[in-house]
Structure 1
Amino acid sequence: MSRTPPLILCVDDETVGLQVRRMLLERAGYRVLTALDGVLGLEIFAREPIQAVVLDYSMPGMSGAEVAMRMRHTKPEVPILLLSAYVDLPADVKEVVNVCMTKGEGAPVLLEKLSRLVLNPADTIQSESL
C-alpha cells in the first residue's frame, strides 16, 4: 500500500518565491498548497489536513509571526518553518515556530529542515533558530 505524501502549506506574498518553493517541494515528493497572504493561509490551514507549514515572516497585512500564532491556536501540533530575509527576529517570534531559517540558506537546507519537521515534529520544537 502506498503512503500519501505529506501535505505542506506555503504562505508567502512574493509570487515568484512561492512558485519556486512549490516546484522544489513537489519535486521532493510533497503535496503543496499555497497562499499569497496570511488570511488565505489561515483559511487553507483550517480546512485542509496540513502536515507542515513553510511561512514567510515579512508580509503586508498580517506578518508571519501573527499567522503562526493563529495557526498554533487552531492546530498546535502542526510544525511551522519560518522563512525570513531578516537574521535577528524577535525572541517571541522564534518561540511560536518550530524552526527559523533565512531565505538565503537555500533549497537543500529548506528540504533538510522540512524533512526533519515532517518526520519528527516534536524533536524540533524551538530547538533551532536563526
Structure 2
Amino acid sequence: MTVVAKNPPQKIRNQDRNPAGRWPGLPLAFPLFFAQLSSWYMSFSTAHSWHLCDNCQNPHHGPRGCMAPSTAGPKTVLCVDDTPYVLQMLDMFLTAVGYRAIPASNGREALELATSFSLDAVIVDYEMPELNGLEVAQILKREYPQLPILMYSARHPQTEASAPGIVDAYVEKEHPQALVMALARVLNDPVPVLVRRRFPRFATSSSFTLRFPDRDFDGDTAFEGTLRDLAEGGCGGQVDAQMVPGELVSLAFGVPECEIMLELRARVRYQNADSHGFEFVDLTTAQQKELQRCLHAIAAA
C-alpha cells in the first residue's frame, strides 16, 4: 500500500532557472544573503510552543502576530518576492524553524493571498516591479493594522519605509540572521538558536519514498513525499507520515541533476509543521561518493 502526500506544494525546479543557473537583475547582495543563511541551522529551543502572547491576553491591545485561542498549528508567514529561488529558500528556512510559509511572487498576488489566509506576519522584498514592497506594506497595514510586516532590501529604501505604523522591522539582505531574529521578535516567539551547519545544504525538488524498517507492518508500506533540500549529512522534505525524532527510516529518491537513484538509511531529526528533517546513517563508501557527486551536480546546476 502506498500513501501519497495530500496536496504537495508546488516546488521551484532547477529547469525553471535560466541555463546559467543565475537570475538576471539580482543585486549582488542576493547570493551573499542566501549563502550566509544556508550556512546556519535554525531551530527553536524546546520551550517553543504555540501559545498566546501578552498582547493577546491583554484586553487593552488587539492581537499582534498571535495565534487565536481556537487556532492550532504553525504560525503563517506570507513571503513576497519576485524571485522564485528566494521564495523557495525562505520557505525552506522558515519551515525549518516551525513556521508555515505562503509564497507570493508579486505584490498583487500577496494582496489576494492576504484575503484567503489568516496571517501572523508578512516578509516582503522592497524592490519589486509594479507594486514595490513599501506599497504592499502600506496597503496591508491599511487593511490589517495589527499585522506585523518585515521588509528586506539590498540597500536602505526611502525613510518612510521604516516609519512607525508601516514596517515593523527592516533588515538588510546581507544580515540573514537578523531576519529570523526579527520575525521571532515581532511574533513574541522564543529566539531561535542559530548554529553553523556541519554540511552545506542545497535546494532541490524531487519525489522520495519513505519506509520504516523497524516497524512491524503487514506487507511493504511506503509513503511518498517531496524532497526540499539535500546535504552530505542529511536532507529535508515533506511527507504525510507520522514519525518521531530518532526513528530509523529508509529513504529512496532520485536526483535529477546526476540522474541516479539513492536508497539511504536515515534517522528522523525533527518534524516542524509539515516538514521533516533526516540525518543519514551507516552510509557505505560507495553511497557517500554517489551522494557527494550529486551534491556537486546540484551546486553546479
TM range, smaller chain: 0.7 to 0.9
Instruction: Give the aligned partner of residue 63 of structure 1.
Output: 132
With normalisation by structure 2, the TM-score equals: 0.38
Shift of 1:46: 2.0
Aligned to 1:104, what secondary structure does the other structure show?
A: coil
Shift of 1:90: 1.3
Largest Rg, 1 or 2: 2
User: What are the equivalent positions in structure 2 for 1:25-40 lying under 5 Å apart?
Assistant: 25-40=94-109
CA displacement, residues 13-57 of structure 1 (integer Å, 9 cap, x when unaligned):
011111101100000100110000000001111221000000000
Instruction: Give the aligned partner of residue 175 of structure 2.
Output: 105
Percent identity, aligned pairs only?
32
Number of matched pairs: 117
Instruction: Give the aligned partner of residue 91 of structure 2.
Output: 22
CA displacement, residues 49-92 of structure 1 (integer Å, 9 cap, x when unaligned):
000000000001110000000001111100000011113x2121
Structure having greater relative contact order (Cα 8 Å, sep ≥ 6):
1
Report if the CA contact (8 A) 1:46-1:74 is conserved. Answer: no
Aligned to 1:61, what secondary structure does the other structure show?
A: coil
**Inter-partner Cα distance in structure 1 for 2:173 and 2:86:** 10
User: What are the equivalent positions in structure 2 for 1:39-50 lying under 5 Å apart?
Assistant: 39-50=108-119
Instruction: Give the aligned partner of residue 54 of structure 1.
Output: 123
Which of 110, 114, 118 aligns to 2:183? It is 114
Which structure is higher in helix share? 1
Report if the CA contact (8 A) 2:90-2:101 is conserved. Answer: no
Which of 159, 165, 170 aligns to 1:91? It is 159
Q: Which runs of 5+ in 2 are unaligned?
A: 1-49, 51-71, 190-301
Q: Which runs of 5+ in 1 are unaligned?
A: 121-130
With normalisation by structure 1, the TM-score equals: 0.85
